Amino acid sequence: MAGITLRGLTKDYPGGVRALDALALEIADGEFFALLGPSGCGKTTLLRTIAGLETATRGSVHIGDADVTRLPPGRRDVGMVFQDYALFPHMTVTDNIAYPLRIKKRGRAERHEAAAGVASSLGLDGLLRRRPGELSGGQQQRVALARAMAARPRVFLLDEPLSNLDARLRLEARTFLKRLQRELGVTTVFVTHDQAEALAMADRMAVMEAGRVRQVGTPAEVFRRPASLFVASFIGSTPMNLLPGRVRGEHVVLGEETVLPLPEGTRGTLADGDEVVYGIRPEYLDFLQDTTGAGKGTFTGRVAVVENLGSSSLVTLEAAGGLVHVVVGEGREPAAGDRGRARPRAGRALLFRNGGLVNGGGDAMTESAAMGERPG
Amino acid sequence: MSGGHGASAVRETLRRIGLATFVSALLGFFSLPLLWLAFAPFDAGPELTASLPEFTLRNFEVLLDNPYALASLRNSVLLAAGTAALVVASAALAAYALSRVRVPGRDALLYALLLLSSIITGTAAMVPVFLLAFNLNLIDSRLGVILVLTGGLLPTAIFILKDFTDATPPSYEEAARVFGASPFQVLRHVVAPVIRPGLATVTVWTVAQVWGDFLMPFLLLRNPDKAPASVIMYTFYTEGGQPNLALISTFSLLYSLPVVAMYLFVSRRYGFRFHGGIKR
């Protein structure tokens, strides 16, 4: 068991592309850690650098107490699951799982026994003599996991472990992976571009953009207190409402008529006339059908679109400050063309200035928020 | 109307007859030499025509009496095996390197080699190849023939194998490396088995090429004890200068059997199947 420490990690590719930019990160022992970001943000390069498949241009990688920056992948004691699983097509399931032990020159009997043990713990009994081509996607994923586990490494690295599964299987595999990681207690880093996956599985996560870590925190922290506009817009299955405005006294003015009180924890840090972005998640807006007292502390306007999300609906409101999305509970949906208001719930509104977060949102998350570096 | 219909039916019949005649002629053209190869060796009086034999095994006695016949087949095997081993090993390494390392002008280099390779073992380069072998003291050496043939076949072999190495996902090799495999182990455990159909293809192709090659061994080998079958067959004349058909027919049969056997063996053993994805 071991934690992972990255310091000043930089990776330059020939041709001037900088995939990682002086990146620092601390992953605790036994943690289930997600690297999240849009494609091209460097998350896979980071994972491959930890594995040793890429060599860092500058900076260091420590696993446990050992500096592994210059060690080849095979001597870092990591197990890796690749996005395409990379199962050897000419070997049976047993031989695939036992491959790390074959490299370690263990005897045939010992290898097969170990492989059978790991396979059985992942529900792969009965498939041992098959070849990867004869397995379903979910089975292939579990064989890849079993192979990574076989040599009992100190760290697991998973590259987009769920992206090759179909949607229903993905949910199952999510639960399975999370439970497996908890049982094994091995430090695990996984890469994903799907924010829902990171929120659902990770103990902590790093949101990456352009080779840098924009924010590190628990899923709850990152969801409720996104450190920057980028993180705010990237996290959440329904994107956060982000509306430009201006500070006036105790209020934020968005457009002509929408005047909202300053969110908690922002007073004193702002001056009159400051240009800000007001952020509120669609889930944290209450929809009201009456339009009395329009503009005072609410977004008011005509309902443009109503999208059914199953147990709720996403309502698009044409408010004075711009389009506002509101999640409305079952049975209370307005019809398109109705007028209505949306009121931010207390303590949920966020204010961004120069792309960075100004307030803490006022909820109980302020204590341990490990903030990443802020841009600008 | 019915007259027009009848005319088109006649035309259709004539078309079919024409097609059948053409196909029969074509089939006959290709099958006659094969029939000759099957019948002549067992014929008491072999001629240059295919006819049902007056069965005898005496022709094979003539073959066994010839001092060079069987030795030449052994020489052919040595040349073919040596060249195949060298071509497959070098081509596999070169193809692997070329598909994994980005070199500027890689494809141009490959195409240029491919173009030039037909010259190396061709008639045009006869004199320079001879002089080169002479200066390297490789005249009358099997190694010399193997090296020249390898040089001529290598570009095409690399070209074929590179298709196979290109189709092998790098993640296979990375997975092996993460588990601690050395570069040689990666090659032996992962790359070679995955491109095995390609290796089999190249082996069969190389053996067939060397087996049938006449010019290079004829040019570079002096001693008839070292000459392969393709060259020795050229010496099977009677004292009167007539082709010795008893000898030639039996020898031809023995000469073609190993190649046929190899095709059957390889296609059964390695059968150009695909791994992964497709069920077997």
> Is the model's pLDDT at B277 over the cut of 70?
no
- Taking an 8 Å cut-off on Cβ atoms, the answer to whether B275 and A134 are in contact is no
- Element housing A356 (H / E): strand A356-357
Instruction: Please state the rounded mean pLDDT for residues A129-154.
Output: 88
Chain A positions touching B180 (Cβ under 8 A) are 73-75, 100, 103-104
CA distance A117 to A112: 8
- Residue A197 half-sphere exposure toward CB, CA atoms < 13 A: 28
Q: In percent, how much of chain B has pLDDT > 90?
A: 28
Q: What is the torsional sign of CA A228, A233, A283, A162? A: negative
DSSP string, A231-273: HHHHSSSSPPEEEEEEEETTEEEETTTEEEEPPTT-TTT--TT
CB contact under 8 A, A74 and B275: no
- What's the rounded Cα separation, in Å, for the pair A300 and A318? 8
B215 touches chain A (CB under 8 A): no
Task: Report ipTM for this prediction.
Answer: 0.79
Q: Which residues of chain B from 108 to 167 reach within 8 Å of chain A, CB to CB?
A: none
CA dihedral A342, A347, A351, A357 (to 10 degrees): -140
pLDDT at A1: 62
Q: Is B241 on the interface with A (CB under 8 A)?
A: no
**Which of the 8 DSSP states describes residue A174?**
H
Decide: A327 and A240 in contact? Cβ < 8 Å.
no
Q: Specify the 3-state DSSP secondary structure of A293.
A: coil
Closest residue, chain A, to B190 (C-alpha): A88
Please compute the mean of the pLDDT values over residues A258-273 and round it to a whole number. 79
- In angstroms, the separation between the Cα of residue B74 and the nearest Cα of chain A is 35
Q: Cβ distance B114 to B159 under 8 Å? A: yes
Shortest CA distance from B181: residue in chain A? A103
- Say what the pLDDT of residue A360 is: 53
Please state whether A77 falls in left (phi above 0), alpha (psi between -120 and 50) or beta. Answer: left
For residue range A334-374, list pLDDT tens digits in order.
888 888 888 888 888 888 888 888 875 444 333 333 343 33
pLDDT tens-digit series, residues A6-61 = 998 898 888 888 888 888 999 999 999 999 999 888 899 999 999 999 888 989 99
Residues B152-164 pLDDT 10s: 899 889 988 998 9
Q: Check residue A49 and give its pLDDT.
A: 92
A103 touches chain B (CB under 8 A): yes
Inform me whether the C-beta atom of residue A100 falls under 8 Å from chain B C-beta atoms.
yes
pLDDT in the model for residue B32: 86
Nearest CA of chain B to the CA of A32: how many Å? 20
Q: 3-state DSSP call for residue A136?
A: coil
Nearest-neighbour CA in chain A from B258: distance (Å):
29
| Residue A290, pLDDT above cutoff 60 | yes
pLDDT of residue A32: 93
DSSP H/E element including A192: strand A187-192
Q: Which residues of B touch A134 (CB under 8 A)?
A: 279
d(CA B276, CA A83): 16
In chain A, residues with a C-beta closer than 8 Å to the C-beta of B185 are 103
Selecting from B179, B190, B280 the residue whose C-beta is nearest the C-beta of A100 gives B179
Which of the 8 DSSP states describes residue A331? T
Q: Do the Cβ atoms of A132 and B276 come within 8 Å? A: yes
* Mean pLDDT computed over A105-128: 87
Q: A227-236, pLDDT tens digit by residue?
A: 999 999 999 8
Tens digit of each residue's pLDDT (9 = 90 or more) over B55-114: 777 778 878 888 888 889 899 999 999 999 999 999 999 999 888 887 788 888 888 888
Q: Does B174 touch chain A (CB under 8 A)?
A: yes
pLDDT-derived band at A295, boundaries 50, 70, 90: low
CA A185, distance to chain mean position in Å, is 20
Least confident of A76-80, A172-176, A217-221, B174-178: A172-176
- Touching check for B102 and chain A: CB below 8 Å? no
- Over 60: is that where the pLDDT of B219 sits? yes
Q: Which of B198, B227, B202 is closest to B213 using CA atoms?
A: B227
Which token pair is A209?
A: 């953009």
Distance between CA A50 and CA A153 in Å, rounded? 13
pLDDT at B133 over 60: yes
Quick one: pLDDT at residue B4? 60
Res. B138: pLDDT tops 60: yes
pLDDT at A303 over 60: yes
Are β-strands A312-319 and A17-27 bridged in parallel, bridged antiparallel, or unpaired?
unpaired
Rg, chain B, Cα only: 25
pLDDT at A112 over 70: yes
Collapsed DSSP state (helix, strand, coil) of residue A227:
coil
Taking CB atoms and an 8 Å limit, are B178 and A79 in contact across chains? Answer: yes
Inform me whether the pLDDT recorded for A326 exceeds 80. yes
Q: What is the pLDDT of residues A164-199, one digit of tens each?
A: 888 888 888 888 889 888 888 899 999 999 999 999
Q: Is the pLDDT of residue A206 over 90?
A: yes
On average, the pLDDT of chain A sits at 85
- CA pair distance A47, A37, nearest whole angstrom: 13
Mean pLDDT for A73-79 is: 89
Per-residue pLDDT for A218 more than 70? yes
Minimum-distance CB partner of A89 among B174, B181, B194: B194
Find chain A residues with C-beta within 8 A of B169's C-beta: 84, 86
Task: Pick A86's closest partner by Cβ from B175, B180, B280.
Answer: B175
Residue B273, chain A, CB below 8 Å: the answer is: no
Nearest Cα of chain A lies from the Cα of B169 at a distance, in angstroms, of 8
Residue A4's beta-bridge partner residues? A27, A63
The verdict on A53 touching B (C-beta cutoff 8 Å) is yes
Answer whether B95's CB lies under 8 Å from B164's CB: yes
B chain contacts of residue A102, beta-carbon cutoff 8 Å: 189
Pick among B179, B184, B187, B188 to test the A interface (most A CBs inside 10 A): B179
Shortest Cα distance from A174 to chain B (angstroms)?
23
DSSP, res A333: P
B177 vs A74, A131, A147: nearest CB: A74
The lowest-confidence range among A234-238, A289-293, B231-235 is A289-293
* Residues B118-132, mean pLDDT to the nearest whole number: 81
The three-state (H, E, C) secondary structure of chain B, written as one string: CHHHHHHHHHHHHHHHHHHHHHHHHHHHHHHHHHHHHHHHHHECCCCCCCCCCCECCHHHHHHHHCCCHHHHHHHHHHHHHHHHHHHHHHHHHHHHHHHHCCCCCHHHHHHHHHHHHHHHCCHHHHHHHHHHHHHCCCCCCHHHHHHHHHHHHHHHHHHHHHHHHHCCCHHHHHHHHHCCCCHHHHHHHHHHHHCHHHHHHHHHHHHHHHHHCCHHHHHHCCCCCCCCHHHHHHHCECCCCCECHHHHHHHHHHHHHHHHHHHHHHHHHCCCCCCCCCCC
Contact B175 A88 (CB under 8 A): yes
Task: Read off the pLDDT band of B271 (50, 70, 90).
Answer: low
- Strand-pairing partners, residue A120, are none
Residue A296: DSSP 8-state? B
User: What are the tokens at A255?
Assistant: 């457009």
Nearest residue of B to residue A145, measured between CA atoms? B175
Interchain pair B169, A86: CB under 8 A: yes
B183 touches chain A (CB under 8 A): no
